[in-house]
Structures are given as structure tokens and as C-alpha cells.
Amino acid sequence: MPLHNHNLCFLYNKPVQHTMTHTGLFPPVEPHDHGMLPLDDTHTMYWEQSGNQNGIPVLFLHGGPGAGATPAHRRFFDPARYRIVIFDQRGAGRSLPLGETRDNTTPLLIEDIETLRQHLGIERWLIFGGSWGSTLALAYGEAHPDRCLGFILRGIFLCRPGEINWFLYGLRNFFPEVWREFVARLSPIEQCDILSSYYRLLMDPDPAVHMPAAKAWGRYEGSCSTLLPNPDTVDYFTSDTVALGLAKIEAHYFRNNIFLPENSLLENVHKIHHLPGVIVQGRYDAVCPIVSAHDLHLAWPQADYIVVNDAGHSAWEPGILIELVKATEKLKLIL
């Protein structure tokens, strides 16, 4: 069920300062500030701020990598209490150039976050990220724990080889018809190395080659992201901007093991043990199976660990959405 005001008052014994809609999200809010921030000779970052300019700074990290952020992502946060900062990562969304993989690595994304923090004059901020956003949140937090107030993470993806292999091959155990459609453009030999085969198609300069491949990749991921079929989710993942950024940059990062040492996120999570954290995970998350969230919970027992038993991967699954808003409401009272 949607989360209403009286639920929050009961949970935290304090009044909610901003009325939420029947969906459980806060009402739409427009940015009061936005811009394009040059990062280097190739990349320019889109960023925006909304909510309370003097509120608790919170940084939203979108998924993918390459998916980009949307106006709806502002609505997880009480705009009366939070200074909401959203940006599109290199090659994603409104950042330019779209789908660019040159000079696009996890260490550079971490540097970009620091560049944005300094540009906005923020000392420390709460980090909120789901799926790849949880990966980047952990990587940033472990690199700059002194710049973080805490973490809200969803749909945990640690980018270990087994997780990438699961995405490319394991999902056919639950979505065989979707997987068959995904690999239909590949020969039987090419299907033995889906990642390299798709990478070759996605990096082809001809839009007649790379766009159908990108849309097929987006359709595959979107179709597997919800517990029940959701055509709106699939439509979003197959839109031109999302599909191109998502498919090209995911393939790029997966081929390079996200440009971090294997298992480094778990091995270094002790660096953020002292900070408040909430981990929200769908029990039936097929894209990022629950074992990764469980492993993170074991490595970071100080964080709250919430399993939503009737949800898949998407942040818009009703139970996950409710828990994410509850987490932002909880942390606004203690930060």
C-alpha cells in the first residue's frame, strides 16, 4: 500500500513537513538551479538542484551505468528538508556526448562527484543510489568517507564476475522468452560470448547497427526488472536516449570489470562502517539477485537491511518505493 502521512508520524513520532501524494512519493518539484559542468575535453555533465537550498544535501546516483536520471527521482525526498542534487553520469541522459565510452571509468565518475560537490560548495552529503547507483555509491563512499553523511542503497550490484555472467546468461532461467529475443540477433557461436558480440554491435558507428542492438539490450533489462510485467518500464528502457546510453556504457563497464579490483567494494566497506546506512532489496530481484545484498549486509552489519518480499529490481516496485521513502524520512531526522 502507498505510504501516507499518518504512517510516517506513527513510525517516527514526528510530523511530516511536506504532504506526499497517494503514490507514496512526494509531489513533483522543479529544479531551482541547473547547469552543464565541463569535466574534460570530451565530457560535460548535466546537474540540477531542487528542494530546500539550506536543507540536508542528498546526492542521487542513477543506475545503469548509463541510464540517466529523471524528474521522478526528485520525489523520493522531502523538498522541505532536503537539498536534492541529481546529475547524469558521463555518457548518460543529458550529459554530453551521449553514450561516449572514451575516458569513462569508475575512478573518473568518483572524481566527477567530487568536482560537482566542490562546484556546489557542499561539505558532506547523503548518498542515495540503486542498482549501478549502489555500486557507485559504495565506490565513492569508500574513496571519500569524510564527504558522506550516510547511504541509502537499493538493488545491490557489486559488479563481481558472477553477477555480470548472471545478467548475460542466468536470467534465461527466469525469463527464457526474453533472453531468447535478446540473443536472437547473434549466431550460436556469438551467443557463447554475448558481451563481446553485443559490444561489437553497440560500438559500430552506424546507427542502423548500434540502435537496434541498444534497444534490444534495453528491452532485455527492462523486461526483467519488475516482479510482474510492466510495459511502461520496458518503454522507458527502450527509449532512444536511455537505450543508447545504458547499453553502450554497461557493455563498456562490464567488459572492463567496472575498472576496479575484483571484490574491492566488499573488501573496503569497513571504511564506511561508522556512517548510517540503509540497504533495501527486493526478494525476487532477478537483475541483481539478493545474494549480493546479503553479502553486503554481512560485510556491513551496522547498516539496516530491509528485504521486500514481494518485489523485483525496480525502484518503482510499490514495496521498494515505500521503503526508500521511509529511509529518507528516517535519515532526515537524524542527520
Residue 180's nearest CA partner among 150, 224, 121, 126 is 224
Burial of 334 (0-12, 13-18, 19+ CB in 10 A): exposed
Q: Quote the cell numbers at residue 264.
A: 574491492
d(CA 321, CA 319): 5
Model confidence pLDDT, tens digit, residues 304-327:
999 999 999 999 999 999 999 999
137 in the same domain as 81: yes
237 in the same domain as 179: yes
- The pLDDT score that the predictor gives to residue 21 is 58
Distance of CA 305 to the CA centre of its chain: 18
- Residue 276's CATH number: 3.40.50.1820
147 in the same domain as 221: no
DSSP state of 74: G
Number of structural domains (the chain) is: 2
- The pLDDT score that the predictor gives to residue 8 is 33
Spell out where 90-249 has E strands: 125-130, 148-154
Residue 213, domain extent: 164-258
Q: Choosing from 50, 95, 131, 292, which is the catalytic residue?
A: 131
Return mean pLDDT, the chain. 93
292 in the same domain as 154: yes
266 in the same domain as 253: no
Query: Has residue 134 got a pLDDT over 60?
Result: yes
| Neighbour count for residue 10 (Cβ, 10 Å) | 8
Spell out where 23-123 has E strands: 33-38, 44-51, 56-61, 82-87
DSSP state of 96: B
Query: Which range has the top average pLDDT, 3-7, 16-20, 242-246?
Result: 242-246
Query: Has residue 140 got a pLDDT over 60?
Result: yes
Q: Quote the cell numbers at residue 34.
A: 541547473
> How far separated are the first and last CA of the chain, in Å rounded?
27
User: Strands 148-154 and 125-130, how do they pair?
Assistant: parallel
Domain boundary among 204, 236, 258: 258
Indicate the angle between helix axes 207-223 and 231-238, nearest 10 degrees.
Answer: 150
Model confidence pLDDT, tens digit, residues 191-224:
999 999 999 999 999 999 999 999 999 999 999 9
Domain boundary among 212, 234, 258: 258
Query: Has residue 95 got a pLDDT over 60?
Result: yes
- The pLDDT score that the predictor gives to residue 4 is 32
61 in the same domain as 117: yes
Residues 6+ apart with CB under 8 A from 316: 226, 233
283 in the same domain as 245: no
Active site residue 314: no
304 in the same domain as 203: no
151 in the same domain as 99: yes
Would you place residue 280 in the very low, low, confident or very high pLDDT band (cuts 50, 70, 90)? very high
d(CA 149, CA 69): 22
CB 46 within 8 A of CB 95: yes
Residue 37's nearest CA partner among 47, 29, 27, 28 is 47
Domain boundary among 218, 239, 258: 258
Active site residue 131: yes
User: Strands 56-61 and 82-87, how do they pair?
Assistant: parallel
Model confidence pLDDT, tens digit, residues 41-89:
999 999 999 999 999 999 999 999 999 999 999 999 999 999 999 999 9
Q: Choosing from 50, 285, 292, 297, which is the catalytic residue?
A: 285
Would you place residue 16 in the very low, low, confident or very high pLDDT band (cuts 50, 70, 90)? very low
- The pLDDT score that the predictor gives to residue 19 is 56
- The pLDDT score that the predictor gives to residue 12 is 29
108 in the same domain as 36: yes
Active site residue 313: yes
100 in the same domain as 28: yes
236-264 burial code (b ≥16 CB/10 A, e <16): bbbeebbbbbbbbbbbbbbeeebebeeeb
- The pLDDT score that the predictor gives to residue 17 is 44
Residue 115 CA: distances (Å) to CA of 6, 73, 252: 40, 21, 23
176 in the same domain as 129: no
Q: Choosing from 223, 225, 313, 314, which is the catalytic residue?
A: 313
CB 133 within 8 A of CB 260: no
d(CA 113, CA 117): 6
